[in-house]
């Protein structure tokens, strides 16, 4: 355990969260020590939960700037044991900070990409699942964009 490193990592995560807050991006607070969570439903209120706003946002971040993130919401938790679909309580996008990997300029780049995506959030369209495995669909499900209205 390196307490200096842990302080640095927590500070980097806080820096990212505070930068996104200043941009008006809805994030979960308090910030964690390893990730920032964007509230995709709040950021994309025009997308109903069953159009997977978290997945739509995660894909937009990747397409805009190669930022890899993870949907934690209806894709991950929505399928019920009987096979039906129910919205998860929240739809979040996790921006995890890998250990000893990113520099300050990397974090600043993520902020820039999120800002560009947030500027066109109202134009993002929902997703629909075209393939999903029986278990752990959030790992290998396939999606397509829904038609814009």
Quick one: DSSP state of residue 30?
S
Q: Which residue is it, tokens 């300029």?
A: 105
Instruction: Tell me which residue range forms the domain holding 22.
Output: 3-145
Q: What is the pLDDT of residue 100?
A: 66
Structure confidence at residue 148 (pLDDT): 72
Domain count, the chain: 1
Quick one: pLDDT at residue 149? 58
- The CATH number for 119's domain is 3.90.1150.10
How far, rounded to the nearest angstrom, does the alpha carbon of residue 49 sit from its chain's CA centroid? 14
| Residuewise pLDDT in 10s, the chain (149 residues) | 788 888 888 999 999 999 999 999 999 999 988 999 999 999 999 999 999 999 999 999 999 999 999 999 999 999 988 889 999 999 999 999 877 667 788 999 999 999 999 999 999 999 999 999 888 888 899 999 998 75
Query: pLDDT value at position 112?
Result: 98
Q: What is the pLDDT of residue 134?
A: 84
So what's the pLDDT on residue 104?
Answer: 83
Alpha-carbon dihedral angle through residues 64, 142, 50, 126, given to the nearest 10 degrees: 30
pLDDT score at 35: 95
Cα dist. 84→27, 55, 80, 102, 136 in Å?
A: 29, 19, 5, 40, 15
């Amino acid at each position: 355990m390196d307490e200096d490193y842990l302080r640095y990592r927590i500070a980097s995560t806080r820096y990212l969260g505070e930068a996104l807050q200043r941009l008006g991006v809805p994030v979960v607070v308090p910030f964690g020590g390893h990730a920032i969570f964007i509230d995709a439903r709040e950021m994309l209120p025009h997308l109903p939960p069953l159009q997977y706003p978290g997945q739509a946002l995660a894909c937009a971040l990747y397409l805009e700037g190669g930022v890899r993130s993870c949907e934690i919401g209806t894709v991950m938790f929505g399928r019920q044991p009987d096979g039906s679909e129910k919205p998860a309580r929240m739809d979040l996008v996790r921006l995890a900070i890998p250990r000893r990997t990113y520099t300050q300029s990397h974090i600043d780049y993520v902020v820039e990409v999120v800002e560009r995506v947030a500027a066109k959030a109202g134009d993002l369209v929902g997703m629909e699942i075209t393939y999903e495995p029986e278990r752990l669909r959030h790992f290998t499900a396939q999606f397509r964009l829904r038609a814009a209205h």
